[in-house]
Amino acid sequence: MAACLAFGVSSVVSAQTAQKGADAAARTGDKLRVEYVGYRPARYETAFLSEPSNERPNQGGLISVYFRNVSDGPLRLAFWRANGEDESYWRLGGFLAWDRAYEDTLAPGVLTVLEINAVAAQFGEGKPFAFSYVDREQWRPVGKTETQLREDGVQVSLIRVLPGLRNLEVHVRNRGRDKAVIESIAVDKHAVKTASWVGQTMEGPSQAIGRLELEDPLRPSELLVVELTIKVQAGSRVVYAHRRAFEDGFPIGCWSNDEKTYAILRRLHIDTCVRGGRADDEFYAQVAPKYGFRTMAPTGKPVDVDQLRSLGGRPCVGQ
């Protein structure tokens, strides 16, 4: 699954940890407002991987910082800082596996996400996290927040995008012991036409599924951000999650395919195969449309530029 999800910073059984500096009213000079800091501690590497020698075991987690331009003009972002050090310090020092900013220029009101996949113990669960972003105009922080890195008790565990890019399924998990009620849901930059829930009130550890219809379809590959308002004992708060927008599927593929096996493969529900060639080849011109095949097209080394140009407009390639 290519979905990319983010999780919150509250403790498992309590409300969200206070984020100093996230209140726009308290920091009227900030041009950038941090809306939410998500955190998911590393689990798989510690529980399921055993290496005889590992110089840098994963003691961190995945951090997702959601922030919005609250100024009247565009913001051109230069680099982020965490716990007093610039991003270059963490990146070049081997403290991160990777980091990714979805946008570096923000128009007024735009919300985006920064992902930091940290492996260092400084980014372990419960550690302090002081964050700021520096802009390219005045080369100073334009927004700050301080919190602790804690996994949220209520998480968006899956966002599913159905064919047509207009309908979504949002799966929510309550890991805490307290009751959590889903009050509302929003999709950034998109109006929600209808929303229905199964399990809207989660009594202790449980799950809920929301089915949403948007007024207008998502753009392919756009950043999809879901804002979920939940009510727990401490009050109402918002949990964020995100992914790229594309139609979800479950491809079943194979390497071997020829004129003797096309019909058999389709009857076995195999819909994806590895196939090179050009757009005017028989496979792409006739076979793929007839059977509904999707393909992964190897381009070789060095990359076959002519093949990329030829197959670039074929909807069955790389889907």
- Residue 62, domain member (yes or no): yes
Task: Give the residue from 217, 244, 271 where a domain finishes.
Answer: 244
Q: Alpha-carbon distance 199 to 250, whole Å?
A: 26
CA quadruple 28, 35, 133, 56: dihedral sign: positive
52 and 137 co-located in one domain: yes
139 and 160 co-located in one domain: no
Say whether pLDDT at 15 is over 50: no
- Residue 296, domain member (yes or no): yes
Residue with more model confidence, 273 or 227? 227
Most confident among 87-96, 245-254, 284-293, 310-319 (mean pLDDT) = 87-96
- Residue 1, domain member (yes or no): no
* pLDDT (tens digit per residue) in 161-172: 999 999 999 999
Residue with more model confidence, 141 or 318? 141
Domain count, the chain: 3
Q: Average of pLDDT values for 200-212?
A: 94
124 and 211 co-located in one domain: no
**Which CATH number is 41's domain given?**
2.60.40
Assign 273 a pLDDT band (cuts: 50, 70, 90): confident
Please, where are the H alpha helices in 53-144?
87-92
73 and 134 co-located in one domain: yes
Task: Give the residue from 115, 148, 181 where a domain finishes.
Answer: 148
Q: pTM (2 decimals)? A: 0.76
- Residue 234, domain member (yes or no): yes
232 and 286 co-located in one domain: no
Task: Give the residue from 244, 278, 295 where a domain finishes.
Answer: 244
Say whether pLDDT at 1 is over 50: no
Sheet order of strands, 154-161 included: 154-161, 167-174, 206-214, 192-198
173 and 137 co-located in one domain: no
Mean pLDDT over all residues of the chain? 86
Domain span holding position 266: 253-311
168 and 192 co-located in one domain: yes
Whether the Cβ atoms of residue 147 and residue 18 lie closer than 8 Å to each other = yes
| Per-residue pLDDT at 24 | 41
* pLDDT (tens digit per residue) in 65-83: 999 999 999 999 999 999 9
* pLDDT (tens digit per residue) in 241-253: 999 999 887 777 7
Tokens 């918002």 belong to residue: 238
- Residue 4, domain member (yes or no): no
Whether the Cβ atoms of residue 216 and residue 232 lie closer than 8 Å to each other = no
Contacts of 129 (CB under 8 A, 6+ apart): 37, 63, 82, 83, 123, 146, 147, 148, 149
169 and 229 co-located in one domain: yes
235 and 264 co-located in one domain: no
49 and 138 co-located in one domain: yes
Q: Alpha-carbon distance 34 to 125, whole Å?
A: 20
36 and 112 co-located in one domain: yes
Give the least confident one: 3-7, 41-45, 303-307, 310-314.
3-7
**Which CATH number is 216's domain given?**
2.60.40.1230
Residue 197: CB atoms within 10 A of its CB come to 15
Q: Closest by alpha carbon to 38, among 62, 59, 14?
A: 62
- Residue 23, domain member (yes or no): no
| Per-residue pLDDT at 49 | 64
- Residue 24, domain member (yes or no): no
- Residue 16, domain member (yes or no): no
